[in-house]
Amino acid sequence: MLMQAELYGNDRAFTAFHTVGPETDLQALNLNWRESDLPQRERTKHVHGLHPYLGKFIPQLVEIFLRKYARRAVVDPFAGSGTTLVEANALGLAACGCDISYFNCLLTRVKTGEHDLDLLERELKDILVRAELRAFAARARRAEPGVTGYLAEWYAPEALIELLAYRELIPGYRHREVLQVVLSRAARSARLTTHFELDFPKEPQREPYYCRKHHRVCRPTTRALPFLRRYTYDTLARLREFAAVRTGAPVEVFWGDAREVRFPAHDTVVTSPPYLGLIDYHEQHRYAYELLGLPELRDKEIGRPEKGNGARAAREYYEGIKAVFANVARSLEPGGHVVIVVHDRGEMYFEMARELGFAVEAVLERHVNRRTGRRSGEFFERVYVWKKER
């Protein structure tokens, strides 16, 4: 087993990902990116910035390991926002991903799908105009949104009228899933919350407040149309940008439990499992589930925060993650690699590899020196490289 030396605080630039190949020495990699190496515009290039998502890894890290190990087909059993599948497609590799969150699958399908961009542009502009007219008419007759529960609690009436007007028009268009992503992104921004709590809002904010992000008094938003307009054009631009590098390599996205899904044959896995008790992957997009009426498999989510992080929860988490990799291993070719990006405080992935019959080929220490939002500050994680020997 190769254990890479710690590189925290060094001055070497992040490895130039496009230079990596099968013969690249793992010891030569520097995965400790700095803002000067990978500015946000690069980390969120094209469709990677299509919708906010907590817990995703940077695409350049994925590209490094795809270039190092992948030959034909890649699997990500914890597909999340689709980073691995996007990067695999751009490299001409067949890709298959699975996620327990229906919204994650929706987002990944939009990111990786082939779209009629001229038609999409017409549809995006048309629904925006029609939604604005419909919302204007509703306000003119002083109509009420007519909803209760989460939507009524987290949105100002005018914003909700605008969101619902847009939603009602979506079924009439071909690119319905793209429109759903635009609507979801606008709904996230239009919630009654402070600007510095978009990731983890605790309760609706209805009064002016001192904003820690802008260092002034701000007011909660009461409109959704400005966000719908902004994200309409941003979405179109990002999909056009990715279309320029997108290949015809097949992409499959499965919604379901990765312990049970039957994965196709593949030679490489690149994934980042959920962390124990950290993020509820349904709750972070609650607005999308409520507004779009998406189905849920919340009870099957591995490591859900509501189960805590005690000994019992930790054991259940361990067995859940292990079952996913055991399932993936059934269709992984002999000699294939599994690359796992994770914050492994308990070093559980050594024991897991042993129990599953994988060889731990390398463990790379990685210093993430810039996080965003309320999770800003230093963060450390590991990259495990397993090999299936037979």
pLDDT digits (tens, 9 = 90+) for 48-80: 999 999 878 899 999 999 999 999 999 999 999
Please say whether the beta carbons of 199 and 188 come within 8 A: no
> The domain containing residue 159 runs over which residues?
117-242
Q: Are residues 149 and 210 in the same domain?
A: yes
Q: What is the mean pLDDT of residues 201-213?
A: 92
Q: Are residues 333 and 262 in the same domain?
A: yes
Spatial distance between the Cα atoms of 139 and 156, rounded to a whole number of angstroms? 13
Spatial distance between the Cα atoms of 66 and 254, rounded to a whole number of angstroms? 21
Q: Are residues 15 and 70 in the same domain?
A: yes
Q: Are residues 7 and 121 in the same domain?
A: no
Structure tokens at 292: 């779009």
Q: Are residues 233 and 268 in the same domain?
A: no
Structural domain contains residue 137: yes
In this predicted structure, the answer to whether residue 286 has a pLDDT above a threshold of 60 is: yes
Q: Are residues 17 and 125 in the same domain?
A: no
Structural domain contains residue 200: yes
Q: Are residues 346 and 262 in the same domain?
A: yes
Q: Are residues 219 and 333 in the same domain?
A: no
Q: Give me Rg for the CA atoms of the chain.
A: 22
Q: pTM for the full model? A: 0.93
Q: Are residues 228 and 215 in the same domain?
A: yes
Q: Are residues 23 and 67 in the same domain?
A: yes
CATH of the domain at 366: 3.40.50.150
Residue where a domain stops, chosen among 187, 217, 242: 242
Structural domain contains residue 360: yes
C-alpha to C-alpha distances, 207 to 177, 191, 204, 229, nearest whole angstrom: 34, 13, 9, 25
Spatial distance between the Cα atoms of 32 and 341, rounded to a whole number of angstroms? 13
* Backbone phi and psi for residue 28, each to the nearest 5 degrees, phi listed first: -85, -10
The DSSP-derived string for 162-177 is HHHHHHHHGGGSS-HH
Structural domain contains residue 235: yes
Counted domains in the chain: 2
156-195 tens-digit pLDDT: 999 999 999 999 999 999 999 999 999 999 999 999 999 8
* Backbone phi and psi for residue 384, each to the nearest 5 degrees, phi listed first: -90, 135
